[in-house]
Amino acid sequence: MPKMSLSRFTSVGVAIAAVLALAAPATAAAEVRLQGTISWRLVKAPNPTADQQRAYDLITRAMNAAVSRYNNLSGLTKSITAHYDPNVPTADGNINGTIRFGKTGFMTERTALHEISHTIGVGTSGKWRGLGCGGTYNGSRATALVKQYDGQGAVIHCDSQHFWPYGLNHDNEFSQTNADRHVRIVDAMVRDGL
């Protein structure tokens, strides 16, 4: 067998890769799959009452759905600890990775998605105001997404804690499409410097 130089193998490999790239559908090259690594755990009372167990079940269902959506549609990383606290009127999320769920009516995927965004930095990061929040969000990546979704005149409005559209601030904002867009916008906000 004749001796072949390493550079020849490299050239052949490059040529094969080029042919394979041409054979692949155009959408495959444009579509980038992200994989988030958000994880979560639930802190439970040692001997839960029936009400606590019901809350734990609802929180688990909501968080599993929300974390799965974030991990499938974003490249975000976070470790989250969830708690049931009946003294919390709705729910709240902190940049330290803590989410507290209060009333059972708020133990939903919509609420979990919204609170996860707070653990990521929406309204809780020191960089939030620098992105224009108290008014109109000015980060380029998230702004480009909202324009893609809603037209060239679309903007993201924000205050000291929330953004809209797609902030999932209220139950009537939830749909499968809006939930996906929420995750993609939060991911873009992080890439904008959040």
Q: What would the pLDDT profile of 83-119 be if each residue is shown by its tens digit?
A: 999 999 999 999 999 999 999 899 999 999 999 999 9
Q: Are 81 and 98 in contact (CB under 8 A)?
A: yes
Confidence class for position 33, pLDDT limits 50, 70, 90 = low
Tell me whether strands 135-136 and 157-158 are parallel, antiparallel or unpaired: antiparallel
Calculate the alpha carbon distances from 166 to 33, 54, 104, 163, 180 in Å. 21, 29, 23, 7, 9
The DSSP symbol for 134 reads: S
Where are the domains positioned within the chain?
37-191
Report d(CA 92, CA 126) in Å as an integer: 17
- Phi and psi at 142, nearest 5°, equal -65, -35
Q: Report the pLDDT averaged over residues 120-126.
A: 96
| pTM over 0.75, yes/no | yes
Q: Are 90 and 112 in contact (CB under 8 A)?
A: no
Confidence class for position 34, pLDDT limits 50, 70, 90 = low
Q: Note the pLDDT of residue 35.
A: 82
Q: Report the pLDDT averaged over residues 182-191.
A: 97
Give the mean pLDDT of the chain: 86
Identify the CA nearest to 175 among candidates 121, 120, 108.
108
Q: Note the pLDDT of residue 180.
A: 98
Percent of the chain whose pLDDT exceeds 90: 79
Q: Note the pLDDT of residue 6.
A: 37
Which residues lie below 8 Å from residue 48, measured CB to CB, with a gap of 6+?
56
SS3 of residue 120 by DSSP: helix
